[in-house]
Chains A and B, each alone.
Chain A
Amino acid sequence: MDARADLLPQHFSAWFASRGWSARPHQLALLEEARAGRSTLLVAPTGAGKTLAGFLPSLVELAESDGRYDGLHTLYISPLKALAVDIARNLETPIREMALPVSVETRTGDTSAAKRTRQIARPPDILLTTPEQLALLVSHRDAKPFFANLKRVVLDELHALVTSKRGDLLSLDLARLRALAPKLSAVGLSATVREPADLQRFLGGSATPAGLVTVKGGASAEIGILHTASRIPLAGHTTGHAVRDVYKAILDHRLTLVFVNTRMQAEFMFQALWHINDDNLPIALHHGSLDAQQRRKVEAAMAAGKLKAVVCTSTLDLGIDWGDVDLVVNIGAPKGASRLMQRIGRSNHRMDEPSQALLVPSNRFELLECRAALDAVTEAAQDTPEPRIGALDVLAQHVLGVACSDGFAPDALYEEVLTASPYSDLTRADFDATVNFVATGGYALRSYERFAKLRQGKDGLFRASNPRVIQQYRMNVGTIVESTMLKVRLGRLRAGRPGQPGMLSRGGRVLGEIEEYFAETMTTGDTFVFAGEVLRLEGIVENEVVCSRTTTGTDPKVPSYAGGKFPLSTFLAARVRAMLASPKEWDKLPDEVSAWLHAQRLKSRLPKPGELLIESFPRGGRFYLVAYPFEGRLAHQTLGMLLTRRLERARMRPLGFVCNDYGIAVWSLGDMSAAIARGALSLDELFAQDMLGDDLEEWLAESALMKRTFRACAVIGGLIEKRFPGQEKNGRQVTMSTDLVYDVLRRHEPDHVLLRAARADAATGLLDIGRLAQMLTRIGGHIVHQPLDHVSPLSVAVMLEIGREAVHGEAADEILAEAEALMLEEAMA
């Protein structure tokens, strides 16, 4: 018996015994750490009783205080509102069965105003909430008394929280809590991570890292790659070849979660499964674009055991137990070993039974990736991303929040911010620039002083200058800036006069939402799959996509964008490259895949570790250059934009490029092989690091992705509101206006704090410039060029992306000239 068992009061032990349990060592360890007032990170696999471990010390202490604890005792933060609600439900059982005098409440966006007010005046013992709600609480004018007696904060799914700007904001609010609540200790609950030390610093503070309790193992997962009789395609993401085998796996299990990487894949897989669903199995669909009510229905049906399978995206990645899942199927490549583990953890939420999982690669490159991920999981290797460098736009939001509560002295706030681990290296100059940005916009031209949002009081503290500023802050809190979404509504567009928009017919049902940029790739009459149906686009009216149902049997026009949402992780990429370089490992692969690699070795070559292979060949009157950096789609896309610029300058007349997670193909009218042979084109120069200088700057000036990144920073940093004044009606005009702001600011103050924040985002976000830079360093002097007479086996898998999503650069005049010429042709005919 564990000596620490004494820490557990008798009625707790009795309760454990009544359920046939005894307290586990890590649960007792957390109790001991809490008694000593120390912060602790608990790293444990799914099913280890993490949540109970996190709350046990609070329940024990509250039981001892006998219902007379003064104020809020424990704050629980989860990344998902639904998870907070779920945990509240789970806590009810021990509290009821032990008759503990403990009150538990949730506080989310759905909590009524009256209840919120009451919660501030008379807080429960335990409050369960989200990072955004925490930010609002911390900026409340009564934050000081409200948090004065807070003993513990429990952060759930910490590994998932820290990887984004939400994590930055949370780290700042934690720093604030440490200042407001002197008795506070923090508990972090996390899945297995590579570098727990990063999380320990996040949790305890950069200079005072939390302790660590690790739970090993659990029953190991049984993961396999789906064996299918059909050939694995060279390219594509639909995984159509494996649908029958997936269906069979569903048939053989109780409840299967079929994870996919994108909404499009979800729609396709759902359709394909129903197409062959001769047994009429209850198979449902769950993704973030579906109407919320629809999602709730699916979740309830899962919990009630009424479903056989759910096709879902990452919306179901995180910790909620919706039902008795006994198989997880991952369609496509997992893109990261940690994401794979997280998903697999959805099955058999019990320590003693191994999780069952099946990987279903969509194409041959993905098969290599699945193999690499499988090996990684077997070795328990993780690919947790690098710790974040705190974003300045998030800091700006936090500074305003603190000004909205009690006000701040810059020196003290700076010291406090340094304790938040993402900000531990923040310079005083950047902090001051951020404060100036909040106060007056932070422009070199100091013309907005009289409108300042922050004013220094007689006591030296900076506070919000007027109630409207506080209101603005509260309306815009949070770091999640949705890409503009358009509602998908059933209906018909009544024809208007030629050339004029028609009228939307009344009464269509809203099916969900899609991203504006997806809607923009379609034209009227296009058919696409949404919410499990094939819809015909009738038109876009204001912020709604009007669609009609198609007759059964209509083929959807496969959407142009079908790639993965998450880029291949650096860690898996390295493993895939290693696998390519060692033919003896190919035995593990299906025959057609190893034959494919052998053919590549014969007809072209395979890169050694550390090398970048570039092939060039002619085809159909064009000249192709194909490279295999394995750095993920986003980095490749940026690379493609820059390469075409450089090839243009080298007079190669590039026409376009395509890429996937593994490689990139550029084609041109000029003969690149010949130019390389006669020394007119140097691959070393073409792939030289200086492409991240002027070429990048020029491209960023016009890049739509960069403008989108800037807009997000402007909203988070509070420069503009989520709802820009005067344009409430239509979110899409905001995009336009922030583009104008971006242009003006870039030209007049290129070093402005907000542009720096946007550039920092571009390094890791949609443009993945950081990863591109690493790649260029890695391959410097290690480029091997293979001129060929025709397409190589490896390049086919990249070339097949052509027609799916070719990118032709972003030169505006090109596009306009083409539109103009189109009409000229018609006029001349």
Chain B
Amino acid sequence: MNSAANALPAAAEAFMLGRLAIMPDLSGALVLPEERTLIVADLHLEKGSAYAARGVFLPPYDSTATLAALAAAILRHDPARVIALGDSFHDRGAEERISADNLASLRLLQKGRDWLWVTGNHDPQISRAMGGDSAAMLSLAGVALRHEPDPDEPDYEIAGHLHPAAKVRMRGRALRRRCFALSERRCIMPAMGAYAGGLNLRDAAFRPLFRHGVTAHMLGDGRLFRIDRRLLLAD
């Protein structure tokens, strides 16, 4: 019964944040075609092993799964630069716990392109061993890129941190998926980590960020779906 959904091609749509063209991607990454840049947010690598240390043995495959999703996005868009928008590592111990295989995959992805770790609240410092450079924030074509969105940002902003998810109900069935939260001035990216939960876009935390409206670009199975805020449900 996927006919209607699959009828449209999966081609991404571009939006403008000021002068910067952005294309939300089904992988949860944001593509900046003119900058040949790919942005990903909230990878939360080694979240599984962080829980394991507390006696909750979540399957130890989350970093592998997250890196595979990241690799697929990179392979598809072949960016010259990758920006990880913070909370790339779930905690300070993650760098020690990450498996040699996963670290090798990560280093392989970094080959031949610029790699920037923007620091987040979970990973305020990132060691050289993880490759790439790190910064607290940066600015691209007049758009601020930071981990935690700043409600007082006067211009344009791309951020992560909040793990936006949206919920809609159709035909009696409710569906909750990760989403990009998009307005004319701001883009909050979905979390890419395999174990990263989502915060409902109707949550109060989003309120100061989207005073003049927001659209949810929900991650479907075959493509993104643009859902008006009036259809969004609270949890």
Contact = CB atoms under 8 A, between A and B. Distances in A.
A451 B57 contact: yes
A274 to B, nearest CB: 29
B96 to A, nearest CB: 12
B117 interface: no
Contact of B168 (A733, A806, A815): A815
B2 A814 contact: yes
B234 interface: yes
A501 B233 CA distance: 9
A777 interface: no
A608 B202 CA distance: 56
Contact of A808 (B56, B171, B218): B171
Contacts of B19: none
B165 to A, nearest CB: 8
B228 to A, nearest CB: 4
Interface residues of B, number: 56
A451 B177 contact: no
Contacts of A469: 55
A396 B111 CA distance: 45
A440 B6 CA distance: 42
Interface stretch (B32-40, B126-134, B219-227): B219-227
Contacts of A482: none
Given A744-B62, A811-B5, A719 B56 contact: yes
Given A744-B194, A748-B64, A814-B2, A501 B234 contact: yes
A740 B197 contact: yes
A694 interface: no
A719 B227 contact: no
B59 A741 contact: yes
Contacts of B183: none
A57 B235 CA distance: 56
B65 A812 contact: no
Nearest to B165: A736
Given A499-B229, A501-B202, A744-B194, A816 B175 contact: yes
Contacts of B4: 814, 817-818
Contact of B235 (A732, A737, A811): A732
A744 B195 contact: yes
A811 B225 contact: no
B11 interface: no
B55 A440 contact: no
Given A440-B57, A648-B1, A816 B220 contact: yes
Nearest to A440: B57
B173 interface: yes
A501 B194 CA distance: 29
Nearest to B234: A501
Contacts of B59: 441, 443, 741, 744-745, 748-749, 752
23 contacts: A447-B99, A539-B234, A644-B1, A653-B3, A720-B56, A720-B58, A721-B56, A725-B56, A740-B195, A743-B194, A744-B62, A744-B194, A747-B65, A748-B59, A748-B61, A749-B59, A805-B172, A810-B173, A811-B5, A816-B5, A819-B170, A819-B225, A823-B230
Interface of A: 440-443, 445, 447-448, 451, 453, 468-469, 472, 499-501, 520-521, 523, 539-541, 560, 644, 648, 653-654, 719-721, 724-725, 727, 730, 732-733, 736-737, 740-741, 743-745, 747-749, 752, 805-806, 808-820, 822-823
Given A451-B52, A811-B2, A823-B230, 6 more contacts: A648-B2, A741-B195, A806-B172, A809-B1, A811-B5, A815-B175
